[in-house]
A and B are shown apart, each in its own frame.
Chain A
Amino acid sequence: MKEPIRQFIFKALFFIALILLLDTGIGGLLNHFYFTQKAGDDYRATYAIENAREQVIILGASRASHQYLPEIIEKRLKMSCFNTGRDGASIFYSYGILKALSSRYRPELIILDFSRDFEKKQNSYDRLAMLAPYYHRHPEIKPIIEIRSKYEKFKMYSGIYPFNSYLFSIAQRNTNYNIENLKDVKGYTPLFRKWNRPADNDSSFLKYDIDSSKVEIYKSIIKECNGSRVNLVIVAAPFFNNAKTEDISTKLAKQIAVQYHVPFFDFSKDSSFRNKPEYFADISHLNDEGARKFTNLVLDSIINSPALWKH
């Protein structure tokens, strides 16, 4: 009996050692190649977190990434600009980017795209995985990544876990395979297709619960900007929908913005885009033509805003 138990313990220890070795080795490789990507979302996130020094920074999710053109902003404001928006991101991600930027320099202007960001949904937390590769390199965003779950800090002991689900994108973006399709213009990733269905009147999607953690993060973004004397504007971009009900997130976000004296420009029901499918790629995103028009409208509001440029 003693011999099998001894053997069992030996085999178990061997297995554990093997796992640790593989986890450290493969994790190290993933870590190396993650930061040598040549294009795509991760490349842009790394640039935003580690290198960006532009005067104007755009924060948000896909509706930021596809709808604000840095080249127009640079031309009209005569300032350098970078769009950090990322598909599938949430307000937690925007806060993470802001924390990383603030630890390095002070941008002149931050444009936060607000897209019903207070909706309670689990995948906003899941998608904090986008920041996981930076967990060990950027202590300033650790607390934000740990919002994902109370066990996140323990999971981060694994070498591979921060790069979970990244294997193929890392492989693709370290080679030249299909890399042209991933290219951006200072973070802006245009959509060229045109929407071809009529606008919906349905407002059922506007009924949802508010996530108080997201509201707190929104307030933290405002406080962080106000505290470090960065000009902040918050923008709600248009949707291709004719629902009459006002979105509860946008309503609350506006109230908070007023409370903290931050300009909030609401284009969510702007007549320039109402019933104009030619400006949209889908119901939530403007196409390139729409994005150009929209960026100019946002800039008109920024330039004419008396609340800005106090700092």
Chain B
Amino acid sequence: MNIPDDLLYTQDHEWIRVESQGDKQVGVVGITDYAQSQLGDIVFVDVNTVGETLSQQEIFGTIEAVKTVADLFMPVSGKVVEFNEQLRDKPELINQDPYGEGWIIKVELTNPEELNSLLSAEQYKQLIGEEG
């Protein structure tokens, strides 16, 4: 199971990679390799929240897989500034490359301190170890 060390994780199996852009902190958000393997073939990714400012753990979208449907949760509070448009036609990018081309949204963080509440790679490994 691929769990990169340089990302932060949620209990709900999202990951976030934060970069500074000027005075803003922008996070790229996706779901983990573990999550995509549990969901199986992803059929649709629906994100209708671009432009909205959402709180940590609010739902920002939905993933429909062959066998199940799953909500996507904000890892931190922020404004959804971009959806990965490639996923409209190629949702399987999430299955193929969950930390790269399969990223889902970009978020402008409104409360970067919330990053402290997220899991490290090591902690996330323990989480899915327990679940698996």
A and B: partners?
A: no
A interface residues (Cβ-Cβ under 8 A, vs B): none
